[in-house]
Structure 1
Amino acid sequence: MFPTPIAQTSQPVQWLYRIALPVLLVVWLLPLIAIALTSLRGPADIFAGNYWGTPTQWQIASNYLAIFQGTPLARYLLNSFLITVPAVIGAVALSCLSGFALGIYRFRMNLPVFFLFVAGNFVPFQILMVPVRTLSLHLGLYDSVLGLVLFHTAFQSGFCTFFMRNFILELPGELIDAARMDGATEWQIFRRVVLPLVRPAIAAVSILIFTFVWNDYFWATVLIQGDHAMPVTAGLRALNGQWVAQWHLVAAGSLVAALPPVAIFFLKQRDFIAGLTMGATKG
């Protein structure tokens, strides 16, 4: 039923694994290596087609300084934080409440309501482009940070509720019953019993949603037009010149834009792994 551990396989399979793993890792990293090298090149190398060779002109500091001095990249990064952080807080907070209700209480419409949250994750987001844009125009939220925050909060709440409900459902019912017998209110049970127990799950889903919202490009281009609210993923196109594509600046900006989610993952990877494996073992 489960794959055999590599250490227990035959010798040829182990040798194949040791050879194939580094090769596949290098192939997977090739695009990142190309972007990193491009961010250190001068424009002459790119125009000459020198994409993979050693740069003839190293611009390690000048390219990264140029994206902050000559473009509004710093503003885009700030906008991304202003959009992502409130959206993560809102989606996770709402999902903890809805997950608690769906995981603890038993009522007739429990499963249909839960399936509504799950079904929303399967709707292709492209078909929502026109109604969401029209709704944001009617509500006066188009081309604003608040509009993008509210959209991401609503759109990510379905996945977060699915995630949190399943974790809360695995909590021992005896804990909830004991708290009620001690006179705790439902809010006290949620805040003092449930939340501390699902803290690893909250950390895991927060990292996932931070990555999803930070890397969003589609909705940033649909709902935002001006630089005042443009996140960094959509703002990278401003690093190109009007007539000439400045790929060395785009590459440098892409690496800078990728740093926050990567840094958060490595700083919180222990909580992330603990949240994903929570409830995987019994006893």
Structure 2
Amino acid sequence: MTGPILVFGRDGQVARELADLAEASGRAMTFAGRGTLDLSDPKAVDSAIEGLIAEIGPGAVINAAAYTAVDRAEGEPDAAFALNRDAPAAMARACAARGLPFTHFSTDYVFDGTLDRPYVETDPTGPTGVYGASKLAGEQAVSAAGGPAITLRTSWVYGAHGANFVRTMLRLAGDRDEIGVVADQIGRPTWARDCAQAALLATDALARDPGLAGVYHLSGAGDASWADLAAAIFAESARRGGPTARVRAITTADYPTPAKRPANSRLDCGKIETALPWRCRPWRESLAACMNEMEF
């Protein structure tokens, strides 16, 4: 692979982890955030992406930019589809034209969450909201471009930076003794650092073997409810002298939201563990490692 990896996104959880990995390893990466180009304008996005790729001459591209405001997407479908469908479509087309490996992120929200087992990549999709529909449209656009591309579907992503469930729980614990947390939605929490590392591994593997193109599931290992995750967060925080609170288990019906959440967000990661030298870490192990890097 010649040329740096071009990463779309700069301030999101996975993009920040990629930047940290680049700094630690000395690997060449160029980051394109909002200040570099506007991915929200579907009329200009093709030419903007084409121009940036021509200017930088990357050896591969990773898309870590997305519209992730699940509830707000219900009232902003055009914005969600612009970032989650149109932008990755333009990236995938530009990469396909040059034969560049392209790695893209998607979500468990492409499923309706009604299965009683973890989802595999070939299970029928059925998003129940705008966010999931926009991400599924992005997956389909990336595939339709026909280039060497890997889409990593992930779930319940958290990290030491940005807006995520871990940081929200710690913030709320600073003001409350007890927090009600949904206990009837089950998933597999995923550290953004693991997403970043897997993306680099997938990108390198794709450069060697374009036949690896396709959709892969990526998550932490082991099941949890949001209430389970909250309890684990507070246990880790207590060990570090940080804020804690009691967790009161509630139901989805007790906490209505504009967008419907999947009751089952569990992703089966057997495919990626077979195709690539990757093993999903137990989510409790990754959570502890993440919180070691946080300030309390």
TM-score of the pair, normalised by structure 1: 0.23
Q: Considering fraction of residues, name the structure with more strand.
A: 2
Bigger proportion of residues as helix: 1
The higher radius of gyration belongs to 1
